[in-house]
Amino acid sequence: MNNSKLYILFVLDILKTNKKGLSPIRCRLTYQQKRKVFSISLNVNPKKWNSKLQKMKSTDKDCNYVNNQLSLIKSKINQAFLYLQMNEKQFDVEDIYIQYSGDHTRKIKYLLEVFDIHNQRFLKLVGKEYSMSTYIKLKEARKHTYEFIKFKFNKNDILLESIKLNFIDDFDFYLKTEKNHKQITINKTIQRLKKIIKLALGEGYLSRDPFILYHPKRVEKKIVYLTKEELTELENHKFIQKRIQQVADMFIFCCYTGLAYNEMASLESSHIHKGFDGNDWIKMTRKKTKREISIPLLAKSKEILAKYQESENLKLLPIISNQKFNSYLKEISDVIGFEKNLTHHVARKTFATTILLYNDIPMEIVSELLGHSKISTTQESYAKVVQSKVSEHIKELNTKLTSEK
């Protein structure tokens, strides 16, 4: 229950005294240092008004009627205030007036309310436009936002209009110090919060954008991938345990196709099509972005599929959970002596770098093969790889020009 006190004051609007010498009474509510003034449709003679006692001085019939009305209005306001104290997690003076007046077409004004509206809409699109994993990340962002509000303000929610740039900066600091999140994770959480603010602005719940001067802290992205030599070493190594060899084969397959775990795990013969060039292509929808992807089957990837074609499963590759897959990759890394932490995602990065970019495949084609929704995603991730490749070309050019002299 909110323990802040509500102040109710009736005041005369002398400036609007009519020709009969009567002035309108206005009610002024003050709560948490905010005011709400409104008309109560009562006009009185200022000479008969006692501001200290908050009622008419005279006992004539008209004055008794006004005093009774004032008492009823005050009682209704107190009832509305009590109702909000018992039922609302947080409210302001405008909410008290709305509850009193009976106009419940209240505009959404709280951050987590908008978060819930957004997430409820999003949930209905899961499986149609978005994946469940993206929805789960939005729920996590909502949870972190709630915990920050509770930590910082000891409240269950916060008014949208009270959100300023320092709220975002403080949220960043909280996630870093209290949650021990890395900056890249913090940036993602704040990016999801920004979507909620954008919705609030679009719906008219918020009049100004607190993100207008916000710039996310830069994160140095380090792309972990296998070099040509490391990939060759992995391909040539024969593992004694069958389960380890299977995971190694599937990892290598993804190094030559760039498939994410979900697509690799669901790959079936129906996804293999003969292309216009006479080659076999993988054609399927990427679950994360809902984009159609077409990936040519290179010789090594065909070789691995052929190895498992006798399987009784509908899937073209052995079935294994993502968790176990990454666990076995750690064993593979230890056996071979890689210092890199192998995960399934490293195979996807290897496809983009060692297989494509280092073989002069243009960035636009790399983005298309990876199934990225925007080429900027590819550019941000692989800009340094491209710079390194450019540097190699410049060295070759420099050597060539020098030898020609």
Q: Is the pLDDT of residue 163 over 70?
A: yes
Residue 242 lies in a domain: yes
Beta strands in 141-262 (DSSP E): none
Q: What is the CATH number of the domain that holds 311?
A: 1.10.443.10
Tokens representing residue 371 in the block: 């199934």
* Three-state DSSP state, 131: coil
Backbone angles phi, psi at 27, to 5 degrees: -100, 130
Mark whether 135 and 84 lie in a shared domain. Answer: no
138/188 Cα distance (integer angstroms):
10
Q: Is the pLDDT of residue 115 over 90?
A: yes
Residue 215 lies in a domain: no
Q: What is the pLDDT of residue 372?
A: 74
Q: What is the pLDDT of residue 231?
A: 94
Chain segment 219-229, per-residue pLDDT in tens: 777 788 898 99
| pLDDT-wise least confident of 59-63, 80-84, 152-156, 401-405 | 401-405
Q: What letters, b where the CB count within 10 A reaches 16 and e where it falls short, cover 371-388?
A: bbeeeeebeebbeebbee
Counted residue by residue, the chain has a size of: 405
Q: What is the pLDDT of residue 311?
A: 62
Q: What is the pLDDT of residue 54?
A: 93
How far apart, in Å, are the Cα atoms of 220 and each of 174, 292, 379? 21, 30, 14
Q: What is the pLDDT of residue 383?
A: 62
| DSSP state letters, 307-366 | HTTT-SSSBSS----HHHHHHHHHHHHHHHT--S---HHHHHHHIIIIIIGGGT--HHHH
Q: Which residue has the higher pLDDT, 210 or 127?
A: 210
Confidence of residue 58 (pLDDT cuts 50, 70, 90): confident
139/123 Cα distance (integer angstroms):
10
Q: Is the pLDDT of residue 1 over 60?
A: no
Confidence of residue 111 (pLDDT cuts 50, 70, 90): very high
Range(s) of the domain holding residue 130: 111-202
Q: Which of 81, 101, 121 marks a domain boundary?
A: 101
Chain segment 344-378, per-residue pLDDT in tens: 999 988 998 888 888 878 778 878 887 776 766 66
Mark whether 36 and 130 lie in a shared domain. Answer: no
The percent of residues in the chain predicted with pLDDT above 70, rounded, is 88
Q: What is the pLDDT of residue 382?
A: 67
How far apart, in Å, are the Cα atoms of 195 and each of 86, 115, 132, 137? 32, 9, 18, 13
Contact status, residue 90 vs residue 156, Cβ threshold 8 Å: yes
Q: What is the pLDDT of residue 92?
A: 82
- CA 297 vs. chain centroid, Å, equals 35
Mark whether 370 and 250 lie in a shared domain. Answer: yes
Mark whether 233 and 353 lie in a shared domain. Answer: yes
| DSSP state letters, 171-187 | HHHHHHHTS---HHHHH
The percent of residues in the chain predicted with pLDDT above 90, rounded, is 51
Among 257, 263, 300, CA closest to 281: 257
Q: Is the pLDDT of residue 216 over 90?
A: no
Q: What is the pLDDT of residue 391?
A: 61
Contact status, residue 352 vs residue 366, Cβ threshold 8 Å: yes
Q: Of all helices (H) and strands (E), which one includes residue 391?
A: helix 375-404
Number of domains in the chain: 3
Q: Which of 202, 237, 256 marks a domain boundary?
A: 202
Q: What is the pLDDT of residue 106?
A: 54
Residue 78 lies in a domain: yes
Average pLDDT, the chain: 87
Q: What is the pLDDT of residue 402?
A: 73
Residue 210 lies in a domain: no
Q: Kindly give the interhelix angle for 132-153 and 165-177, rounded to the nearest 10 degrees.
A: 100
Contacts of 202 (CB under 8 A, 6+ apart): none
Mark whether 280 and 359 lie in a shared domain. Answer: yes
Contact status, residue 253 vs residue 365, Cβ threshold 8 Å: no
Mark whether 195 and 304 lie in a shared domain. Answer: no
